[in-house]
Amino acid sequence: MVLFKKKIKRILFLLAIKKAKRVAIGSASVTQKGWISTNIEDLDLTSKDDFYKYWEPNTLEGFFAEHVWEHLTLEEGIKASKNCYEFLKKGGSLRIAVPDGLHPDRKYIDYVKPGGTGNGSEDHKILYTYKTLGSSLREVGFRIELLEYWDENKDFHYQPWDADQGLVRRSMSYDWRNVRGKLNYTSIIVDAIKD
């Protein structure tokens, strides 16, 4: 009976992902209203065949990935971005949040860098800055809007963003570690838009 229920649950998930218009990548354990959540077992970002299993090109409204791209090499990240670009319809967007390589707190950098001290950092392949992430997305053809990031002068930049377009929990407004006005944990957050 348990095996039967698992099979039914899997079939229902596969039907839901094929109908999805907005897909959260690498977040199967975290749900957001209006988004279908996936993990690598469901969708390998670097495999165009995985995308074709579910959708036709130019059909999705949005992809969302919070702290996923840093688990890919730069080349894999570009490949994943190309796949997302191909399957987004015109006006669709890919919201990406990654650890910020220009965050001014050394403890933060040690926590998130490849091989760092933080959970999951042993699998991190790259530490992006707003410039490197933006450049890789522009290379694919996206127009980008930077929503949150630190710059080289240790200044924090923030542009208001709509959480319904992908709620980044590791952000200025939503991370529990940011207390009393101190930004202890933030991410580079960028909307990459297909024009």
54 CB-near residues (< 8 Å, 6+ apart): 17, 18, 20, 43
Element holding 186 (H helix, E strand): none
8 has a pLDDT exceeding 90:
no
- pLDDT tens column, 132-169: 999 999 999 999 999 999 999 999 999 999 999 999 99
28 band by pLDDT with thresholds 50, 70 and 90: low
* Cα 165 versus chain centre, distance: 12
Q: Are 125 and 114 in contact (CB under 8 A)?
A: yes
pLDDT at residue 118, as a whole number: 93
Rounded Cα gap, residues 74 and 158, in angstroms: 25
Rounded Cα gap, residues 97 and 87, in angstroms: 20
Rounded Cα gap, residues 124 and 153, in angstroms: 25
pTM of the model as a whole = 0.93
The sign of the CA dihedral 165, 169, 174, 178 is: negative
pLDDT at residue 2, as a whole number: 72
Per-residue CA distances from 169 to 20, 52, 70, 178 (Å): 22, 29, 16, 11
State the Rg of the chain over Cα: 17
175 has a pLDDT exceeding 80:
yes
Mean pLDDT of the chain: 94
Q: Which of 20-34, 95-109, 157-171 has the lowest mean pLDDT?
A: 20-34
In this structure, the number of other CB atoms found within 10 A of the CB of residue 53 comes to: 13
Q: Which of 30-39, 59-68, 106-115, 179-188 has the lowest mean pLDDT?
A: 30-39
Q: Are 187 and 67 in contact (CB under 8 A)?
A: yes
183 band by pLDDT with thresholds 50, 70 and 90: very high
Structure tokens at 192: 């990459």
- pLDDT tens column, 43-85: 999 999 999 999 999 999 999 999 999 999 999 999 999 999 9
* Cα 195 versus chain centre, distance: 19
177 has a pLDDT exceeding 70:
yes
21 has a pLDDT exceeding 70:
yes
pLDDT at residue 165, as a whole number: 94
pLDDT, average across residues 29-35:
84
Element holding 188 (H helix, E strand): strand 187-193
